[in-house]
Amino acid sequence: MARPRGARSRSGRGAAGGRSAESARGAGGRALTKRARGAGPRQEDERLRRAAGALRLVEERFGGTVRGDAEPQPFRWGGIATDGIGTMRRCLHATAAGIAHTKGVAAAVAGKFEEAKAHAAAARRHRVAAGEWTHDSKLEPMLFKDAFHKKSDALLQALWAAGRRGAAEDVGAAERAATIGVWHATAEAAEAAGAKALAAAAAAEAADHVVVGWARAVADPRPGGPAPPPDAADAEAAAINGIRAEAPAATWHPQTNPAPPDVAKFIAVNHEVYPHAAAAPGPVSAAATRRYTAAHQLPQVDPAAVRLPEAPATVMGYAN
């Protein structure tokens, strides 16, 4: 059970006759809520370790009960109080997800993409372990809300997309289609998370690939795109119209960002041959794009297998 923090227990000893429940509360919850006070990453990591270690101590040494004869709610997590070991552990997993996400963003900004991927993947694992908020919706913490999940997904998706090869490179049709799908999925994830700049950048990356793909293959390069017309002239007309449709979102520009020479030549010639734009190719199916989301590609997470970093009992003043 979880309820608003406020109904504090008044006094008493722990169930095992050792530390008081006040000590268990301090180690198990109160130390986690100091981000706003300027605590750095190391302090946050240590507070999480101590909280998780204290929770393990209560579970294993005290049988999960701190004060069975007093009012419950021995655990504190931000504005939440709970008497449930499971609920508290899920809250700590949510905290771990938030910490990992913050580290992932910082690493990505610093250009440390492999490190950022590791943090983003850790955030995803802890989010799965935390699960959904099953208590009063009015008490739902930010780290359980859909908005945070969308931000976390957008970061993971963007980092996955950043490892794809560039639009100007000579890649096969299958790889080009997959890359376009990844960037489309990234744009959708970023838009859902409210990251407008990232969404625009991802859409531009996808458009650059589509333009190059149309010019080089003279066929729809998008995942799930239709086969080209059998007539060569019709195929070229479809290609130039597909390029025209993507051009506003693409970054190719004769002065600031020239397209590869073969692509620029195809556009120049066929723009003159087929001056009248026909209907642009229709959008590919949402299912085709969904296949290229990071969450779809990554392995499933077993919540029971996700572990919190735990400080040893000696840190809390108990002998091993």
For 287-300, how does the pLDDT look when each residue is reduced to its tens digit (9 = 90+)?
A: 777 788 887 778 88
pLDDT band at 251 (very low <50, low <70, confident <90, very high): very high
pLDDT tens for each residue of 97-115: 999 999 999 999 998 999 9
Q: What mean pLDDT do residues 3-12 have?
A: 44
Beta strands in 211-285, from DSSP E residues, in sequence order? none
Give the residue among 24, 96, 25, 86 at the shortest CA–CA distance from 61: 24
Q: What mean pLDDT do residues 237-244 have?
A: 92
Tell me the pLDDT of the chain averaged across its residues. 82
CA atoms within 13 A on the CB side of 23: 17
Residue spans per domain, the chain: 2-144+301-316, 165-284
Q: What mean pLDDT do residues 63-80 have?
A: 67
pLDDT band at 15 (very low <50, low <70, confident <90, very high): very low
Helix axes 196-217, 261-273, angle to 10 degrees: 70
pLDDT band at 32 (very low <50, low <70, confident <90, very high): very low
Reply yes or no on whether the pLDDT at 11 is more than 60: no
Reply yes or no on whether the pLDDT at 226 is more than 60: yes
Give the residue among 78, 81, 73 at the shortest CA–CA distance from 5: 81
Count Cβ atoms within 10 A of the Cβ of residue 115 and give its class: 0-12 exposed, 13-18 middle, 19 or more buried. middle
Q: What mean pLDDT do residues 122-142 have?
A: 93
pLDDT at 292: 87
Distance from C-alpha of 189 to C-alpha of 193, rounded to nearest angstrom: 6
pLDDT tens for each residue of 192-225: 999 999 999 999 999 999 999 999 999 999 998 8
179 phi/psi in degrees, rounded to 5: -65, -40
pLDDT band at 24 (very low <50, low <70, confident <90, very high): very low
Q: Which has more pLDDT, 190 or 274?
A: 190
Kindly provide the b/e burial profile for residues 204-226, where b requires at least 16 CB atoms within 10 angstroms of the residue's own CB.
Answer: bbbbbbbbbbbbbbbbbbbbebe
Reply yes or no on whether the pLDDT at 70 is more than 60: no
